[in-house]
Structure formats: structure tokens, C-alpha cells
Amino acid sequence: MIKDSLKNVAVFGQGFVGLPLALSFAMRGSNVYGVDVVKVLVEEINEGITHHTEQFEGKTITQILKEQLKEKRYKATTNAKEALEVCNNIVVTVGIPIRDSKYDFSDLEECVVTIAKNLKKGDLVLIRSTVIPGTTEEKLLPILERESGLKAGEDFYLAYSSERIAEGKAFDEFAYMPTIVAGINEESTKRAKELLEVVCKTDVIVASNIKVVETSKVFENVQRDVNIAMVQEFARFTESLGIDIYEVIKIANTHKRVNLLIPGPGVGGYCIPNAYHYLAPKAEELNVDLSLLKLAREKNRNLPNVMVNMLESMLLKENKTLENAKIGILGIAMKDYSNDDRISPPIEIINILKKRGAIVSAYDSAVPTAYDFKVDNIEQALKGKDAIMILAKQESYDDLNEKYIGMIEKGTVILDTRNIFEGKEDKLKEYGIKLMKI
């Protein structure tokens, strides 16, 4: 049983982070309001519909959602006032989008203003969005005090806890990934730690101050951006050397202090591509040089162009050009086994191909978004193509067996960015199909 003070929770934002988090609280016995401004999303969720691909302990997120709706422990709503009248624990997962390399604070600010106007004495506000270091205390705290007329640390409590999940593993990582927290004062930290322990079944680590937690979260994402930029250069080197980058990485990672990521078609999603841009404004304010991080971001941002140029080189060797070439694509999600197409390198690659005159047929069994280049099945993506690009894996085609290989015409070139054809190189060669892996 959880304490009465932890039973009523409002989670603002019901996207890839907010919905699994809200359901995690509900599964542990809290009464949860999932607040979002998108009316259609709220209506779908309340009907038990979600396109997320999360699962936990043998259940899909759809099953979990329907169970919590039936038990009346979870409800999605656009009515923030209704939720805040009931809930004394308020968790914010609304993000700060990056547009044209500039951050847009408006969504988070609007959310916090709404919360502040309905804030009650004794409420806890826990920020779990990824933010520019300093945001919680320098931007959000003044808004909360001004709009509520209450004093932070005395009349209400404010804390920050970084969200550290990977999409597809949200429930598991909310429960078993160590969680970091800090508050504006001792009581804020204590209240936030107790709330987080409802969901987190491993360590909830208290940091010395909020800026430490905000900064560590951004650093966690930026280091992966730099790692990916590095392994992309390694991939170009191994291609020229005539050896397999995946084997090289596997061998290198047997060293206990080495953790190379694997190359791919680009860096997608909401976290890693945005991370540098969360640091840059504060670095500029502090007159700190982040040129290495900036270079890594620029290199990764250009990867879709690199992929298209590689495919073009393969076609030219077959006396074909990109213009009017029929290109089949498998995977338009931003990463393997995801339905998230936000900041998706495959989408950017497709747009570049189309601008350069290619005819694109793309298939992804998990992404629900409608696009004019999407086809209904894998056959339409493989048959009759000049070239095929593997850009993201899904469970329905993470093993392309001989049946599917047989659909690919002799002379087709394949650029495999996800190593899906590992172990099938000889079979492709037997069918007269040219393969390049990165």
C-alpha cells in the first residue's frame, strides 16, 4: 500500500514518456490523471487505443492501458483544472522542442502557467522534461510563484528528476533504472524522492542540487551523439579497409572499458539530436567553448546526405542514376522497433531521395503516420526495385529469410544500415544482389 499523500498524481504530457509513466503510477495503486492538450490523443487513450510499442512483464502497453482504465486508476483528460483539484503530486513531462537549432520554450511554459494558476498549498511539482541547465530554478520557479501567489519551498514544493528511459523499454527502466532527483530545498527533495519510489524499485539517488541533475541528463545524451559520430567515421575507415565494422565493434567492446555504439542511417528521436542544443544557450551565456560537441552534432545531422550519396555510388556502379530509380525502403521509424517517427533519419533520407528524383516505396509495420511514399506490405517495398535501403528494423521483418530475398530482383543494390542481412551475404551474392553494410 502506498501513502495517502502519494495516491493522487497528475502527469502532464501523454506522449512517449508521459503515458508509460502515468500507467506505471496507476499499476502501483495511484489514482492518475494523464493531462494533454491534444484532444484526439486524449480521446483515443480513453478508448484504450495507443500506437506505442512498449511492453512490461509480458503485457503490451495497450493491455496495461485497458486494465488501468477498467480499474479506474487512470484517466486521460484535457481538463488540467479538474486534474489539479484532485491531485497533490504533479509531474511534468512536456518537452522543449528544437526547431532550426533553436529551442522553443513555449509548450513547457504554457504547461507550467496552467499548473501555477491551479496550484494548491502543499502540492509537489516534479519536472521530468529534458531542459537547458538552469531552467527549473531560473525560468519555471518564477512562473510558478508569480502565477500562483505561493512561495516555493514553503507553500508548495519543487523538484527535478531526469527522465532516462529508452523508448521500447520505458516501463522497465522507470522501475529498474536508477533515478536521480534534487529539489529546491530539503522538503522538496524528500517529497519528490517518496513519489519517485512509488514507481522506481531500485536506487533513487539524491543529487546536491537541481542543476547537477539537469546537466547530467543532457550530458548522458550528448555523449551518445559524440559516440555515434565517432563510429560513423570508424565505419568509413573499415569500408575502405574492406572489413566488417560490426565485427570490429563487437571485438572492441569485449574490452571492459569500451562501449562503442553501432553506426546507422543517422541520429533520430527527441533526445539525442536535441541534446547539444540544450547545452549551447547556457554555454554561450557562460562563454564556454563546446566545439567538439558542435562538430559531432553537425556530422550526425549530415548523415542522411551521406547515406543517399553512398546509395548513389552503388547505383552508378550498375550504370544507374538516382533520378527515376525505384527505391524500396524498410523502416521509417527513428530507431529499431519503435513507432516514433519524430526527427527520423529515414524520413529525411526519403525526402532527399525524392528531391533528387527517386521513386520511393517505404514500408514500416509499426509507424502509424500516413505518408504518400508508404506502401501496405513488405512485398511492395522489395519487388521491382533498383535499390533497397534498410533503415530501421521491426519485428515483422528483422529476419529477411530466403522467401523475401527471392522477391528481390537480380542486379538490385542494397544498402543495409541495420546489419539485417548478417549471415546472408553469400545467399544475396548467389541471387545476383549487391550488398553494402555500414
Answer for the pair 105, 112: CB distance below 8 angstroms, yes or no: no
Strand ordering across the sheet containing 8-12: 74-77, 31-35, 8-12, 89-92, 124-127, 157-161, 179-183, 204-206
> pTM to 2 decimals?
0.91
Residue at a domain's end among 208, 234, 261: 208
End-to-end CA distance of the chain: 51
What is the predicted pLDDT for the residue at 270? 82
Residues 232 and 115 grouped into a single domain: no
For the chain, how many structural domains are there in total?
A: 2
Residue at a domain's end among 174, 208, 242: 208
Residues 202 and 244 grouped into a single domain: no
- CB atoms near residue 43 (< 10 Å): 12
What domain range includes position 155?
4-208
Residues 98 and 194 grouped into a single domain: yes
Residues 121 and 257 grouped into a single domain: no
- CB atoms near residue 365 (< 10 Å): 14
Answer for the pair 162, 130: CB distance below 8 angstroms, yes or no: yes
- Alpha carbon distance 314, 321 (integer Å): 9
217: in domain: no
84: in domain: yes
Residues 154 and 49 grouped into a single domain: yes
- Nearest CA to 48 among 25, 24, 65, 64? 65
What is the predicted pLDDT for the residue at 68? 98
What is the predicted pLDDT for the residue at 214? 97
Residues 283 and 186 grouped into a single domain: no
What is the predicted pLDDT for the residue at 227? 97
Instruction: Quote the cell numbers at residue 345.
Output: 533519419
What is the predicted pLDDT for the residue at 101? 77
Ordered mean pLDDT values, 10 residues apiece, the chain (438 residues): 91 96 97 97 97 93 98 98 97 90 91 98 97 96 98 98 91 96 98 98 97 97 96 96 96 97 92 92 95 97 97 96 97 93 95 98 95 96 97 90 90 95 90 91
CATH of the domain at 45: 3.40.50.720
Residues 253 and 380 grouped into a single domain: yes
- Nearest CA to 201 among 228, 182, 237, 176? 176
